[in-house]
């Protein structure tokens, strides 16, 4: 399904990294007490530009009008008819302004959060205030304290800045070996950026997926930014042409959360000593964070297929978006040590040993969610194959009925990120070229 040339075993362009892997050849975590970090000063000499290799091919107009199935807590705790079994999803109906809402508030037998109580705290309808064009396969956005945006480009391995609507190249992250869905992906700004000036990056290298940190700071009077030498803090996350995960984000507890993919290794997600198909929780130095559910282990939750969206709600609960296989994309509420089912189950089958998704999209043609952001009590998800932005009202531990915005108006959406001024920045993923959509939520 992937375009030619998207294999994961593309030759490395840079020299070998000097750090010993944190995992064995099967991607199993190898605790090494007292490990010291080694700075990677190897510069890449990447040549050429990779093809766009979609996480999930887009099929315009594909699929029936399947609607997201919404699961309130009551529907997720015990055995019973599956949400996608006897109950057909509701069709959708266009309501104008680029939004699509369900024709009915819910399907009998499928519990939903109370729409009334949720709607009251929902931000205004997102509207595109402006667009900034000129990016190529952008993946992640972070904002510096002065409002400057820093954006990663997956296949070019470049970090770009956007200031006053103008795009500039900051520099290339060395050691990135793009291929398939891999490349330069997630970004996270240090919570101590004011003093340490550090940016964390997740990328696909020659042998694995890894995380580095690099100083990024003003170059001087010109207002530009410059990069320091990256330091690898975590490595050994297995790679493949697809399912590389890639989202990283600091939580309210100050630890770095990492969404990984199963890297086409179905045995990894249920193995708590393998890094694939997990959410990891790390210190700023790349060690397992204190209080993790399994001793001296970076794993925070398991049984995931491919996590590319992480966000916390106002009460500090972690929600994640996750690609399903041919069915059942998911929005999950994360519990430390929780098992989210893959590859044994997907969606919300009500199996006691697995945690059900809060929202299930039966049709991956309508979703395939990558980035996730929570604004107030509303989750926003960027949909790749679905070519839209979904909003989902949250109420406590429950999720309400998803609403679609901008369906097939801007193509594939990779990420959504809240800017300091309250606007939402969405990145397209079309490669012809790509844009930032700056969305106003004020109504």
Residues that bind Ca ion (CB under 5 A): 340-341
Least Å distance, CB 330 to Ca ion, is: 5
Instruction: With CA atoms as reference, report the closest residue to 51 among 13, 4, 1, 10.
Output: 4
Q: How far apart are CA 170 and CA 167, in angstroms?
A: 9
> How far apart (Å, rounded) are the C-alpha atoms in residues 412 and 105?
27
Query: What does the block give as tokens for 371?
Result: 């980035």
Closer by beta carbon to Ca ion, 340 or else 361: 340
Which CB atom, from 340 or from 390, has the smaller least distance to Ca ion?
Answer: 340
Judged by beta carbon, residue 12 or residue 327, the one nearer Ca ion is: 327
User: Encoding tokens for residue 356?
Assistant: 């059900």
What is the Cα–Cα distance from 53 to 179, expressed in whole angstroms?
8
* Percent of the chain that is helix, strand, coil (3-state, to 5): 5, 40, 60
Closer by beta carbon to Ca ion, 82 or else 178: 82
Our CB check for Ca ion shows the closer of 341 and 400 to be 341
Nearer to Ca ion, 271 or 434 (CB): 271
Per the listing, tokens 């809060």 go with 358
Nearest distance from residue 303's CB to Ca ion, in Å? 6
CB of 360 to Ca ion, least distance (A): 9
**Residue with Cβ nearer Ca ion (175 or 269):** 269
Q: Which of 235, 246, 243 is nearest to 21 (CA)?
A: 235
Least distance (Å) between residue 345 CB and Ca ion = 7
The smaller minimum CB distance to Ca ion, of residues 150 and 392, is found at: 392
CB of 339 to Ca ion, least distance (A): 9
Query: What is the spatial distance between Cα 200 and Cα 7, in angstroms, rounded to a whole number?
Result: 26
What is the three-class DSSP state of 195? helix
Q: Which two tokens stand for residue 13?
A: 């362009």
CB of 384 to Ca ion, least distance (A): 18
Q: Are 316 and 294 in contact (CB under 8 A)?
A: no
Identify which of residues 177 and 320 has a Cβ nearer to Ca ion in the complex: 320
Q: Is 242 left (phi over 0), alpha (psi -120 to 50) or beta?
A: beta
Q: Nearest approach, Cβ of 210 to Ca ion (angstroms)? A: 25
Q: How far is the CB of 272 from Ca ion (least distance, A)?
A: 16
| Upstream peptide bond of 440 is cis (omega within 30 degrees of 0) | no
- Closer residue to Ca ion in complex, CB, 341/371: 341
CB contact at 8 A, 265 and 27: yes
Q: How far is the CB of 362 from Ca ion (least distance, A)?
A: 13
Task: For CA atoms 191, 381, 282, 27, give the dihedral sign.
Answer: negative
Tokens 């694939």 label which residue?
276
Smallest separation, CB 83 to Ca ion (Å): 12
For residues 164 and 158, the answer to whether their CB atoms sit within 8 Å is: no
Report CA Rg, the chain: 20
Q: Residue 339's beta-bridge partner residues?
A: 302
Q: Residue 259 and residue 47: Cα distance in Å, rounded?
A: 28
Provide, rounded to whole angstroms, the least separation between the CB of residue 356 and Ca ion. Answer: 8
Nearer to Ca ion, 146 or 353 (CB): 353
In order, the DSSP letters of 92-128 are: EEEEETTEEEESSS--TTS----HHHHHTTPPPPPEE
């Amino acid at each position: 399904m992937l375009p030619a040339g998207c294999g994961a075993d593309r030759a490395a362009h840079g020299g070998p990294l000097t750090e010993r892997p944190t995992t064995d050849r099967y991607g199993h975590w190898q605790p090494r007490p007292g490990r010291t970090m080694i700075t990677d000063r190897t510069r890449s000499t990447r040549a050429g530009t990779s093809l766009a290799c979609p996480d999930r091919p887009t099929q315009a107009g594909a699929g029936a009008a399947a609607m997201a199935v919404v699961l309130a807590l009551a529907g997720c705790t015990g055995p019973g008819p599956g949400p996608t079994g006897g109950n057909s999803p509701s069709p959708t109906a266009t309501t104008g302004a680029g939004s699509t809402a369900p024709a009915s508030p819910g399907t009998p037998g499928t519990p939903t959060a109370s729409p009334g109580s949720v709607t009251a705290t929902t931000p205004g309808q997102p509207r595109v205030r402006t667009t900034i064009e000129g990016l190529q396969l952008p993946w992640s956005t972070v904002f510096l304290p002065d409002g400057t945006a820093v954006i990663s480009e997956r296949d070019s391995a470049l970090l770009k800045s956007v200031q006053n609507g103008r795009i500039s190249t900051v520099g290339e992250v060395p050691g990135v070996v793009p291929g398939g869905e891999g490349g330069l992906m997630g970004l996270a700004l240090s919570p101590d950026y004011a003093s340490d000036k550090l940016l964390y990056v997740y990328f696909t290298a020659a042998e694995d997926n890894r995380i580095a940190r690099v100083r990024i700071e003003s170059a001087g009077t010109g207002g530009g930014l410059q990069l320091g030498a990256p330091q690898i803090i975590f490595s050994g996350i297995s790679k493949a042409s697809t399912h590389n995960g890639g989202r990283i984000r600091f939580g309210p507890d100050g630890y770095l959360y990492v969404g990984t993919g199963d890297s086409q290794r179905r045995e990894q997600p249920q193995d708590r000593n393998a890094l694939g198909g997990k959410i990891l929780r790390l210190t700023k130095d790349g060690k397992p964070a204190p209080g993790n559910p399994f001793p001296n282990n970076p794993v925070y939750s398991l049984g995931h297929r491919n996590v590319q969206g992480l966000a916390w709600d106002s009460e500090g609960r972690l929600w994640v978006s996750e690609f399903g296989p041919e069915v059942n994309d998911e929005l999950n509420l994360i519990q430390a040590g929780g098992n989210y089912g893959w590859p044994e189950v997907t969606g919300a089958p009500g199996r006691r040993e697995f945690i059900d998704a809060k929202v299930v999209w039966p049709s991956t043609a309508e979703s395939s969610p990558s980035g996730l952001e929570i604004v107030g009590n509303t989750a926003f998800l960027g949909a790749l194959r679905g070519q839209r932005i979904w909003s989902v009202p949250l109420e406590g531990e429950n999720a309400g009925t998803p609403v679609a915005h901008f369906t097939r108006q801007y193509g594939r959406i990779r990420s959504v990120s809240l800017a300091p001024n309250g606007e939402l920045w969405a990145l397209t993923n079309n490669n012809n070229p790509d844009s930032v959509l700056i969305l106003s939520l004020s109504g």
